[in-house]
Amino acid sequence: MNYQDIDKKHYLQTYKRFPLTITKGEGSYVWDEKGNKYIDALAGIAVTSLGHNHPKVVEAIKNQAEKLIHISNFFLTPPQAELTKKLADLSGLDRVFFANSGAEANEGALKIARKYAHSKNKGGEIISFEGCFHGRTMATIAMGKKGQQEGFEPIPEGFRMLPFNDLKAVKESVNDKTAAIIVEPIQGEGGIHPAKKDFLQGLRKICDKQDIVLIFDEVQCGMGRTGHFFAKDYYEVQPDIITSAKALGSGVPVSAIITNEKVASALNYGDHGTTFGGNPLATSAALATIEAMEEENLLNEAQEKGCWLMTKIEERGCKEIGVKEMRGLGLMIGIEFDMEAKPIVEKMMEKGVLANATAGNVLRIVPPLNISYDDLEVIINTIFESAKEIKEHA
């Protein structure tokens, strides 16, 4: 059976896929249908932070599937209650709502923020930032770049985009119509751009002064990716709402909106809901994921390995292969080249390492947090070999 032909014939053609059909994974490795083995430095785009088929997560999924997969949110299940408390404790916030994807979580966060603003007789405008990515639904593309919006007009109104890391622009733009400011502490799709500490701390002060809801989109940078369970802990800023997804369920679709009591109190019964969000299978996977992160000390692992990786690349003389800048925190790393990154990614894939290009010329490295140093060494060697070959044939 030719899976690639089936995909091209029947699947909605919205992805520029690599010509690989992946059939299994284990730890930091995946295999294609031909038996070729790859180091996964992309981890499903920062999703499989424990690696593929982590035994604790697999066991939790198996055990829960044998008991109860779904029941609906008319009823409570033990895994959902346990995960709710765990996320509240880890975040320092008060209330949690579960959904299925990052975009869904961000949409829900916007609804909560607007409901709170309206309860205070304020407007509903949402401020986002240049280079952001919050999803592909209508409201989330309204917060994003123009290229995402083309062909989908009319775009929902009530959104304004400002320069990233520009506190002055924010101060000049907020008013009584501003309901919320949404920001990624580290922009992922935008090219791995960390926010400045004083920028996020300044946003908190502005929001406090004008009673604006501050939303941190931690869909990609959360769940230990930066070496902190939430990136907000590195910045020492407590938002009103955190959105989480990607690595939360180790690949099982689950996301969370985590909010303080002040903002959550604006909601009434029926204001928001979901069929699948927070079902016992997904929440069991998420609980097991968090427990494994804690047991294996993966926050420290992410910090130490990220520093080691960036230092090793610098020591190798990265400017010789066209590296302009390296950015990131923990194991969320972007390597900006003086050329397009996609050919480098394709060459790396030929050599057995999976990564991806974002923002045109940025190579994104977001491997499992428990990846070995030996595999990180292979990734570094493959980056250098691939970039050199591309330059030599340019």
366 is written with which tokens?
């977001």
Complete DSSP assignment for 232-270: HHHHT---SEEEE-GGGGTTS--EEEEE-HHHHTT--TT
164 is catalytic: no
Q: Give me the catalytic one of 56, 115, 246, 305.
A: 246
Q: Give me the catalytic one of 40, 217, 240, 375.
A: 217
SS3 197: helix
273 is written with which tokens?
């809901």
217 is catalytic: yes
Angle between helices 280-295 and 55-67 (to 10 degrees): 150
Residues near 353 by Cβ (< 8 Å), separated by ≥ 6? Answer: 38, 39, 41, 378, 379, 382
As to burial, measured by CB atoms within 10 angstroms (0-12 exposed, 13-18 middle, 19+ buried), residue 288 is: buried
Between the CA of residue 331 and those of 193, 251, 380, what are the distances in Å?
13, 18, 13
Q: How far is CA 365 from the centre of its chain?
A: 13
Q: Which helix (H) or strand (E) holds 1?
A: none
The answer to whether the beta carbons of residues 181 and 211 sit under 8 Å apart is no
Residue closest to 355 by CA, chosen among 338, 330, 373, 331: 331
Q: Give me the catalytic one of 133, 159, 216, 230.
A: 133
Instruction: Give me the residue label for tokens 């709710």.
Output: 84
The answer to whether the beta carbons of residues 128 and 146 sit under 8 Å apart is no
133 is catalytic: yes
- End-to-end, the C-alpha distance of the chain in Å comes to 37
Q: Which helix (H) or strand (E) holds 51?
A: none
Complete DSSP assignment for 95-160: EEEEESSHHHHHHHHHHHHHHHHHHTT---EEEEETT----SSHHHHHTS-HHHHTTSPSPPSSEE
Question: Which residues belong to the active site?
Answer: 133, 217, 246
